[in-house]
Amino acid sequence: MSINFIDQGRTRLLVPVLVAVLALVTGGCGDDGTESSAGAESSSDGATGTLRLGYFGNVTHAPAVIGEERGLFAEALGDGVEIEYSYFNAGTEAIEALFAGAIDATFIGPNPAINGFAESNGEALRIVGGTTSGGASLVVGDGIDTARDLAGKTLATPSLGNTQDVALRAWLAGEGYETDRTGGGEVAIIPQANADTLTAFVDGSIDGAWVPEPWATRLVTEGDGHVLVDERDLWPDGAFVTTHLIVATEYLEGNPRIIEGLLEGLLDAIDFANDEPAEAQAVTNAGIERITTKALPEATIAAAWDQMTFTPDPIAFSLEKSKADAVTVGLLDDVDLDGIYDLTILNRLLAQRDEEEVAGL
């Protein structure tokens, strides 16, 4: 197993993105994205090759962390498949790596997946399963108790156009505020790495941030902040996609058995996260320490865990809303998301486990 560490916004592309996108799309795609070229008989048994897999060192990516730490991905894929891991700070970096041909699949938030789908005219990627719902909040400092108190303040997000960035901009627009991409407007938004956000919040350089777990909890426990908006409160039944699994379309079509093994490992990791939360938190924390060199306090990871639900359901209706929000705040031209999901392999595995199948758009 080899590891490629991509750290805190310093991704370097080896080839121009446009060229990489063209390379990705030449493999062709299915007509509507709902049927995989894998067919009904594919199996991970005997799969061979290499899978270059990305994820983030965040608690919202806990099933991915668990999948690597406990060897669940490797076990499901078998000895014939080598897994190479890359780690990212935000989804925009992961999409750049996918377009550059540096990775084959990644766990990622909804808006970067939408952006990648749109930039490649619906060709470059497919969402093949869900991972996490919930686990994102707007945390602010003293003196900010309502939306009205945000006028003239500076807030941070992980990166421009990422899931939390879009959520913050859409929420501020709903509260009557104007923002722009350059940190201007009535509320300034500064995209930066999550670790830098914590430092900036502690030293008072920013007034708050809309971030995923564990960073939201850390802003509370280490920065004396408080939650102004729990994003779950903005969604029906508190359910919205925070993390799902995407695969380069060409790779999916050429390596269905590998993706089946990956999804088998993901389902096992989700079951472990839900059935053994205390042990799963310890495993996740060990993985985060390995990736970031720093473990979280046990109380922090436990508090963050309570903010999330781990599920293979990609919660497709929330993807449409995330797209609409990105269009509203001027970060995305409207795009038809038909074909973005290919849940064929996942639903076959769920049926084998006597579990309810999930729906795309």
The per-residue b/e assignment along 306-319, b for 16 or more CB within 10 angstroms, e otherwise, is ebbbbbbbbbbebb
Confidence band (pLDDT; 50, 70, 90) for 30? very low
Omega into 191 within 30° of 0, i.e. cis? no
Dist CA 194 CA 291 (whole Å)? 14
- Say if CB 69 and CB 283 are below 8 A apart: yes
Question: What digits encode the pLDDT tens for the residues 332-351?
Answer: 999 999 999 999 999 999 99
CATH number assigned to the domain with residue range 2-133+240-352, chosen from the 4 options 3.50.50.60, 3.40.190.10, 3.60.20.10, 3.40.50.11690:
3.40.190.10
Q: Which two tokens stand for residue 246?
A: 């995407």
- pLDDT confidence of residue 221: 95
Question: What digits encode the pLDDT tens for the residues 138-153?
Answer: 999 999 999 999 999 9
Cβ neighbours, 10 Å, residue 276: 13
Residues with Cβ within 8 Å of residue 196, at least 6 apart in sequence:
8
Residues with Cβ within 8 Å of residue 239, at least 6 apart in sequence:
133, 134, 232, 309, 315, 318
Helix residue ranges per DSSP H, the chain: 17-25, 62-69, 72-77, 91-99, 110-119, 163-174, 194-202, 215-221, 249-254, 256-275, 277-292, 298-305, 316-328, 344-352
The most distant pair of C-alpha atoms in the chain lies apart, rounded to whole Å, by 60
Question: What digits encode the pLDDT tens for the residues 304-331?
Answer: 999 999 999 999 999 999 999 999 999 9
Percentage of the residues of the chain whose pLDDT score is greater than 70:
88
Dist CA 191 CA 138 (whole Å)? 14
Element (H, E) at 222: none
Q: Which is it for strands 136-140 and 105-108: parallel, antiparallel or unpaired?
A: unpaired
Domain 136-238 bears CATH identifier 3.40.50.170: no
Element (H, E) at 126: strand 125-134
Question: What digits encode the pLDDT tens for the residues 100-111?
Answer: 999 999 999 999
Cα 222 to its chain centre, rounded Å, is 24
Q: Which two tokens stand for residue 203?
A: 């030293």
Q: Is the pLDDT of residue 23 over 50?
A: no
Q: Which is it for strands 136-140 and 208-212: parallel, antiparallel or unpaired?
A: antiparallel
Token look-up 């306090």 returns 297
Q: Is 254 exposed, middle or buried (0-12, 13-18, 19+ CB in 10 A)?
A: middle
Q: Which two tokens stand for residue 350?
A: 């769920």
Dist CA 336 CA 231 (whole Å)? 25
Q: Is the pLDDT of residue 25 over 50?
A: no
Closest CA to 136 of 56, 219, 216: 216
Token look-up 């093994």 returns 261
Q: Is the pLDDT of residue 11 over 80?
A: no
Domain boundaries of the chain, sorted by first residue:
2-133+240-352, 136-238
| Identical fold between 2-133+240-352 and 136-238 | yes
Closest CA to 87 of 293, 254, 277: 293
Dist CA 5 CA 11 (whole Å)? 9
Confidence band (pLDDT; 50, 70, 90) for 92? confident
Q: Is the pLDDT of residue 17 over 90?
A: no
Q: How many CA atoms lie within 13 A of 61 on its CB side?
A: 24
Percentage of the residues of the chain whose pLDDT score is greater than 90:
82
Distance spanning both ends of the chain, measured CA to CA: 36
pTM for the structure as a whole: 0.84
- Say if CB 49 and CB 255 are below 8 A apart: yes
AA letter at 335 = V
Q: Which two tokens stand for residue 315?
A: 């919660």
